Amino acid sequence: MLAAVVAALLVLGLTACGKKDSGDSEGPMTAKLESAKVINTDVAQGPNRLVISLRDSEGKLVSDPNLKTKVRVFPAGSDKVASEAASEFVWIHEGDRGLYTAHVDIPEAGQWEVEVAPVSDPGVALRALVKASSRSSTPPIGSDAPKTQTKTSASSGGDLRAISTDDKPDPDLYKMSIADAVASGRPTVIAFSTPARCSSNMCGPVVDVIKAAKRSHPEANFIHVEIYDEPQNLNNDAVVPAVKEWGLPTEPWVFVVDASGKVTHKFESIISQHEIDQALAKR
């Protein structure tokens, strides 16, 4: 899992603990759009939410919410479009840096090319390679959510530090196990994230989005699952059983489960509250 995280860091130029590399200023594109990279670690045939980083010719991460792009998917070496979608911009840290997402369908396993082109200048088209597996390592859309027995505030004796590295944990996110939430007859949003030990700089922001979304959706369960079994012990990298049961190749991940216990949406990497709102509206 950590190898995948390191690969993502090399792409994004991010460091742990919410810091960024010096000289890697982010913001609106100030030079020619130069490169695109799909940072997903779990791409499979069928529907996918691709997460894309863009850089300009000066090597800077492009974080411009006003930059509209079209994303198209081709079989490797072909110009036959298999799927296309408009991208959406999602902040990692608002006003600082962000990534672009696009929902596309990949017809079959194999090598694919993802093309990103600005709507205002479609002649500037960048392509990145991505390999799609025949089956996702994480629970597929429409499958039964694993009924995992995760730690709760009750099982930890009320000590949230034993089950979370969030510096301001919301007790509501630790009241239920995944198993209890999935069986509750209510929709559930599950965030797998480790805010203080995250290598990708996205875990804390994801948990913050979950906290905010919870206040807007009293009809749903919201759960945060810490990645590490002993979150405060930096010498112990053992992960909780849920990481393996849910097939997570990296973190953070967010899953939306409907009232019947089916996975309806899944989000690798960063997420916006708008995306959660949309997912719960379609439950």
pLDDT digit string (tens) for 158-205?
Answer: 999 999 999 999 999 999 999 999 999 999 999 999 999 998 889 999
Strands 126-132 and 110-118: antiparallel
The pLDDT value given to residue 3: 39
Tokens 């590490």 label which residue?
228
Give yes or no for residue 82 having a pLDDT over 80: yes
pLDDT (tens digit, 9 = 90+) per residue, 33-50? 999 999 999 999 999 999
Tell me the whole-structure pTM to 2 decimals.
Answer: 0.89
Regarding the domain with residue range 160-281, which homologous superfamily does it belong to in the CATH classification?
Glutaredoxin (3.40.30.10)
Share of the chain above pLDDT 70, in %: 88
Query: In the chain, what are the domain boundaries?
Result: 2-132, 160-281
> What is the residue-averaged pLDDT of the chain?
90
pLDDT (tens digit, 9 = 90+) per residue, 94-120? 999 999 999 999 999 999 999 999 999
pLDDT (tens digit, 9 = 90+) per residue, 40-78? 999 999 999 999 999 999 999 999 999 999 999 999 999
The pLDDT value given to residue 43: 98
The pLDDT value given to residue 42: 98
Q: In the structure, what pLDDT confidence band is assigned to residue 22 with cuts at 50, 70 and 90? A: very low
Give yes or no for residue 258 having a pLDDT over 50: yes
Structure tokens that stand for 105 in this block: 């369908």
Asked if 200 contacts 250 with a C-beta cutoff of 8 angstroms, the reply is yes
Determine the CATH number of domain 2-132.
2.60.40.1930
Q: In the structure, what pLDDT confidence band is assigned to residue 16 with cuts at 50, 70 and 90? A: very low
The pLDDT value given to residue 6: 39
The pLDDT value given to residue 261: 98
Task: Please write down the HEC assignment for all residues of the chain.
Answer: CHHHHHHHHHHHCECCCCCECCCCCCECCCCCEEEEEECCCCCECEEEEEEEEEEECCCCEECCCCCCEEEEEEECCCCCCCEEEECEEEEEECCCEEEEEEEEEECCCEEEEEEEEECCCCCCCEEEEEEEECCCCCCCCCCECCCCCCCCCCCCCCCHHHCCCCCCCCHHHHCCCHHHHHCCCCCEEEEECCCCCCCCCCHHHHHHHHHHHHHHCCCCEEEEECCECCCCCCCCCCECHHHHHCCCCCCCEEEEECCCCEEEEEEECCCCHHHHHHHHHCC
Which distant-in-sequence residues (6+ apart) come within 8 Å of 60 by Cβ? 24, 25, 26, 27, 30, 31
Q: In the structure, what pLDDT confidence band is assigned to residue 123 with cuts at 50, 70 and 90? A: confident
Give yes or no for residue 144 having a pLDDT over 60: yes
